[in-house]
Amino acid sequence: MKRSVSHDGGRVETTNLVCSFGPQLDAPDGAATIGRLSPQRACVTLADAMDEPTSIQVCGLIAGILSSDQDVDIHEAGFMQRIRKRFGLAKGTAVPLIGDHDEAVAKLRGFSDEVQQETLELLIQAAAIDGTIADEERSFLDVVAHTLQVEPTELDGRLKRQLALSKPQPFGPAATSDDD
């Protein structure tokens, strides 16, 4: 995906993504999220403009990758809830899990190019949110990337960057520890 970047008053704007840095105004105490990116609070993307059926399908794909390794941890569950909220899905809205690779490919092919790329980005974030990429998650991503004609080396780089962002970063006295 091609992105142009410009800096303006604490914001980074790209073709399909706008991220704000600093304290998030909608955080309970105004504090910034530390160590993990919060897609709901930090970014405005195409997902905010998707219609409900498309949002449900994208959430189904995200649920599929999160449950592919049969282990949904607290970070993954929290990510799914933030995405549902960001898409404006009401509590109780049914989201059919899309974990079958053939079904995932069929859904992706029905999306616009922009929604396909946004979905891939969200799937990468979902897979990396717990700090590791399970073999089943990687297999799901390989199928999606192949469908969207994303080279394996590009996918590897995007996963590596997302994993680095997903791992908690030390701060305060822990950041200066000699234990590393």
Predicted confidence at residue 93, as pLDDT, reads 93
Radius of gyration of the chain (CA): 17
CATH of the domain at 111: 1.10.3680.10
Establish if 35 belongs to a structural domain. Answer: no
Establish if 22 belongs to a structural domain. Answer: no
Predicted confidence at residue 175, as pLDDT, reads 54
Establish if 24 belongs to a structural domain. Answer: no
- CA-closest candidate to residue 54, choices 137, 126, 118: 118
Say how many domains are in the chain. 1
**Which residue range forms the structural domain that includes residue 137?**
50-167
pLDDT tens per residue, range 76-87: 999 999 999 999
Establish if 157 belongs to a structural domain. Answer: yes
Establish if 119 belongs to a structural domain. Answer: yes
Residue 160 has pLDDT above 80, yes or no: yes
Predicted confidence at residue 49, as pLDDT, reads 65
User: What confidence tier does 173 reach under pLDDT thresholds 50, 70, 90?
Assistant: low
What is the chain's mean pLDDT, rounded? 76
pLDDT tens per residue, range 43-69: 445 655 689 999 999 999 999 999 998
Instruction: State how far the Cα of 13 lies from the Cα of 142, in Å rounded to an integer.
Output: 28
Residue 73 has pLDDT above 80, yes or no: yes
11-13 sheet: strands from edge to edge? 6-8, 11-13, 17-20, 43-45
Establish if 178 belongs to a structural domain. Answer: no
CB-based contact 20:13 (threshold 8 Å): no
Establish if 180 belongs to a structural domain. Answer: no
Establish if 57 belongs to a structural domain. Answer: yes
Mean pLDDT on 85-91:
92
What is the CB-side half-sphere exposure of residue 50 using CA atoms within 13 A?
28
